[in-house]
Every structure is written in structure tokens, then in C-alpha cells.
Chain A
Amino acid sequence: QLHLQESGPGLVKPSETLSLTCTVSGGSISSSSNYWGWIRQPPGKGLEWIGSIYYSGSTYYNPSLKSRVTISLDTSKSQFSLKLSSVTAADTAMYYCASVHSPWTDFQHWGQGTLVTVSS
């Protein structure tokens, strides 16, 4: 059973870069069976797909965030990461990492989430 765990700062200043890491266990991050994605949820609101990455390094981003998002993979650490630049208060959200069968289909296994607040 795949287990995913997010980590990173819970507070980021406006205009700075949000950086989160997801550590995968219970399966191989290099498996061709899975893509790895990030989803966020502002407090009290709905879900937004941010982007996904394949073990090959291919990335897929939500066009609304594409100019500010970078997702990368470190297979040696079984981790994938999210960087979101130039953050504002609107980026305050619970950030989840998840496994997904293809870049934006069904998100099967989720991390517990990590709350990131953008505030000075």
C-alpha cells in the first residue's frame, strides 16, 4: 500500500516561493504505473489540481498556475517536490500530494496534507 507524506514550511511570506516535498513509501516512485500529483484546497473551499509528474520527468501543469509552478522528482530519495513562486494570500491552502494513474485522472492514494499559510 502506497504511503505519501508531505513536508515543508507552514508559513511563507508573500512574493516568496512555496516549497513542499512528498515522500513516497510502500512502492516505487519510478514505477511506470503511477504519476505523482499535487492538489490544493483553500480553507473551507474546494479542490484544485496543481500538476503532476511522471517517473520519466515529464510534467503536466494546470494552465492557471503554470507560470509559477515547478514539479520535480528525486528518485534516489523517493520524493517529488512542488515549488510555487510569487505566492500571495490566495495561495494559502492545504496542499496534498497523491498518486494518480495518468496525469490528471483518478487520484488514488493521498498524503495527509500540509497547511501552508501565506502571510508576512
Chain B
Amino acid sequence: DIQMTQSPSSLSASVGDGVTITCRASQSISNYLNWYHQKPGEAPKLLISAAYSLQSGVPSRFSGSGAGTVFTLTISSLQPEDFATYYCQQSYSSPSTFGQGTKLEIK
């Protein structure tokens, strides 16, 4: 199985800050990388697919980049609703696997 490792595991930031979360794959996955966020008590929500394709309705402050084994999710100016747990997911090969999550908390 392809292992996905996110860093950091947790992150504290303030409204208006910019933050970056990194996801590393144990082998090359081309651009088959998706990003989700999950708020407590809710299902995950797809933010970005194929490494950088923003889903409809997702604010432009979210952006994704990377290819191969290293990927990043950047939030340019944090809003209160962005404080959540973020997961990356590789969809290059079966079984699809997720990172362990990055919890973004308000400072």
C-alpha cells in the first residue's frame, strides 16, 4: 500500500494567517492526490482533486500543488470556518489511502 504522511500533525494559526500543509507519498503518485477537510461531527468535504483542481464552491483561498511524492495545500488567509482537520488521499492505486490528518486550530 502507498503510505501518505502529512505534516504537521497539528497547527495553530490565527484568522487571516496563511498556512501550508504538506503531504508526502511513499512512492510516486503522479498528480493523483486529493484534499479534504473535516469539521467535528461532519463528513469530510472534498476541496481539491488531482493535486490542484479546486472543487466548485470551494473558496479561492485554497490552493494545491505538487506532483510525484510531495504535495502541499495552502490556505492564503484563514477564515473561522477553515479550522478543521485536513486529510490528503492518494487515488493512484488501490487501495486508496489517506494521510493521518492535520488538525488546524485557532491560536
Which A residues have a C-beta under 8 Å from some C-beta of B?
46-49, 60, 62-64, 96, 98, 102-108, 110-113
> In the complex, what's the smallest C-beta–C-beta distance from B78 to chain A, in angstroms?
23
12 chain-A/chain-B pairs, Cβ below 8 angstroms = A46-B98, A47-B44, A60-B94, A62-B95, A63-B95, A103-B94, A104-B91, A105-B49, A106-B46, A106-B50, A107-B44, A111-B43
Residue numbers in A under 8 Å from B50 (CB-CB): 106
Contact status A48-B98, CB under 8 Å: yes
Asked whether any CB of chain A lies closer than 8 Å to the CB of B71, the reply is no
Which B residues have a C-beta under 8 Å from some C-beta of A?
1, 32, 34, 36, 42-46, 49-50, 55, 87, 89, 91, 94-101
Residue numbers in B under 8 Å from A46 (CB-CB): 87, 98-101
> In the complex, what's the smallest C-beta–C-beta distance from A40 to chain B, in angstroms?
11
**Given A106-B49, A112-B43, A113-B43 in contact, is the A47-B87 Cβ separation under 8 Å?**
yes
**Given A46-B87, A47-B87, A47-B89 in contact, is the A107-B46 Cβ separation under 8 Å?**
yes
Residue numbers in A under 8 Å from B55 (CB-CB): 108
A-B contact count (CB 8 A): 55
- Given contacts A49-B98, A96-B43, A106-B50, list 6 more A-B pairs with CB under 8 A: A46-B87, A49-B95, A103-B94, A105-B32, A107-B34, A107-B46
Contact status A49-B96, CB under 8 Å: yes
The residue of chain B having its C-beta at the shortest distance from the C-beta of A98 within the complex is B43
> In the complex, what's the smallest C-beta–C-beta distance from A71 to chain B, in angstroms?
14
Residue numbers in B under 8 Å from A106 (CB-CB): 34, 46, 49-50, 89, 91
Q: In the complex, what distance in Å separates the CA atom of A105 from the CA atom of B34?
A: 8
Residue numbers in B under 8 Å from A110 (CB-CB): 43-45
Residue numbers in B under 8 Å from A60 (CB-CB): 94
**Given A96-B43, A110-B43 in contact, is the A105-B91 Cβ separation under 8 Å?**
yes
Q: In the complex, what distance in Å separates the CA atom of A111 from the CA atom of B87?
A: 17
Q: In the complex, what distance in Å separates the CA atom of A104 from the CA atom of B49?
A: 12
Query: Closest 7 interchain pairs by CB?
Result: A104-B96, A110-B43, A105-B91, A106-B49, A62-B95, A47-B98, A49-B96
Residue numbers in B under 8 Å from A63 (CB-CB): 94-95
